[in-house]
Structure 1
Amino acid sequence: MYKAIIIGTGPAGLTAAIYLARANMNPLVIEGPEPGGQLTTTTDVENFPGFPDGIMGPELMSNMRKQAERFGAEFRTGWVNAVETGKRPFSLQLEGGEELQGETLIISTGASAKYLGIPNERDNVGKGVSTCATCDGFFFRGKKIIVVGGGDSAMEEANFLTRFASEVVLVHRREELRASKIMQDRARENPKISWALNRTPLEVEAGGLGVTGLKVRNNETGEDETIQTDGLFVAIGHTPNTKFLGGQLETDETGYLLVKPGTTETNIPGIFACGDVQDHKYRQAITAAGSGCMAAMDCEKFLEGSMVHDWSESL
């Protein structure tokens, strides 16, 4: 029996672990096969406060884990296959059949960026392939960049990247875009954005220094061609990692967990959510860490009996 179980070890989960451990709650942190979350695939992190020279993503997450362990957080590696939220204590079933119980749960399982699934794409993440313009745009000053996608996020990322890049080529497999008209208009009015519509990405081309081009199929002619580039930003959306919850917690239409505004409370008392699993807007390490702090403090107040939970007022 644990007072608090934290599922996920990105910036949100590890920050929650630090705060709860310092409060003598002895939290159990369950990490999946990719400890540290998306930051472990990021090379240089230059926008996390306190590191004027930047820090490597895996190093930052390793330091957060050591800090949590220093204060007494316990870590266990494994998949959470199922969660029983019908009564407290809550029950978790890990792969292999092991069952754990916690008086409270903090869900910080994040969201996974969708990839194209083409050759050389995953191999070059951090070497020219990215899913976060805010995180990595700075590294492409004066360079040519490709953004793949046709929705609002692709238009937003393309516009943002023109602050750094000499040219942004927007690639989409159809002639029509899914983005709202206002977002399309902004992108089309930007002189730094050019268009390669009706092109299906086939393969990332890379050399010794990273990405050199994107091989695409021209759907009008059926011919293959290569678009030269220094960087490839994939902007086709994210999938929140909530499948293991079996629909027991309230989500929005895209699967992100809903929390009472200004808190990390879910619709079930004693279960809290923080980080990208409940944030489809900002998706930054620093905002995730901040929400992890909030979750730990909400959890502590709940365990002390001082939190009044009223989900009906949240929406």
Structure 2
Amino acid sequence: MKSIFTRVALTLPVVWVVVSLVFLLIHIVPGDPVEQMLGEGATAADLSTLRHQYELDKPLLVQYLHYWRGVLHGDLGSSIRLHDTVLHLIATRYPYTIELTIAALVLGLLIAVPAGVTAALHRSRWQDQTIGVVSLSGLSFPAFALGPILILVFSIGLGWLPVSGAGSSNTLAGFFTDGWQYLVLPAFAMGVSLAAILTRMVRTAMLEELHRDYIRTARAKGLSERAVIYRHALPNALVPIVTVVGLQFGTLLAGAIVTETIFSWPGLGRLVVTAISGRDYALVQGALLTIGLTYVLVNLLTDLTYRLVNPRMRS
């Protein structure tokens, strides 16, 4: 329990760094951010009003303290382009990104675990070589390249799945009605690369476990091969995979920006692209802060999960 509290306490400085970097974002932009938001034709009165609205006319330390106060109270400012609060815009888009990321993660695991186990059990045989070639192909197709191919084949060519959008996936009933159809292609585009990475890791971890003494002991006791593999070797092989999955979750969040743009998925990544193109710095700050804090939280949960599944880390 003490180690858990220590890990949580060590996360607080990381949160401080993330919030501070996001705050400095608007100050490291070349030129005057207010002029970039309003354009060259803005009047001096408009510039002054917006600069006062963003508190850019105050000392940097005062701005920093006010920004922290807003973060702690859930006030991230307002979008100058969409005329809504940043918190409300993020709240409406964030669930879509989490849904897509989790779907890609689950899909990657469903592909990687059986494939990795099969490759390890048939080491150097045709099954292992085939899975290795397929994994390498998956690594060679990033989401921005695979996404358009999936749209051309399964949406335009075969007409099986929708081209873009999210359908009714914002509700549970809507997801099972038609929302899942909109989720398949973007989740597959994001999950393929993850599956390729995890497959190779599961294979390596399984090969290490299959040569350990406790596996030979289990076989000597007369346990079935299925029990040896799935009740003893696989759970131990997945211990290091937990850490990798947590790190890859952050990669999926970053990849969601591209994937959501390709498939017009109404998530946080697409909102970031819209905010950047519209020079909506308050919205950019809020979206990046949300992504950064999500990554920190996922890493914390991954570390805690790792301690639960690995008894040696509990002391």
Band the TM-score falls in, shorter-chain normalisation: under 0.3
Larger Rg: 2
Higher relative contact order (CA 8 A, sep 6+): 2
What TM-score comes out, normalization by structure 2 length?
0.24
What TM-score comes out, normalization by structure 1 length?
0.24
Which protein is richer in helix relative to its size?
2
Which protein is richer in strand relative to its size?
1
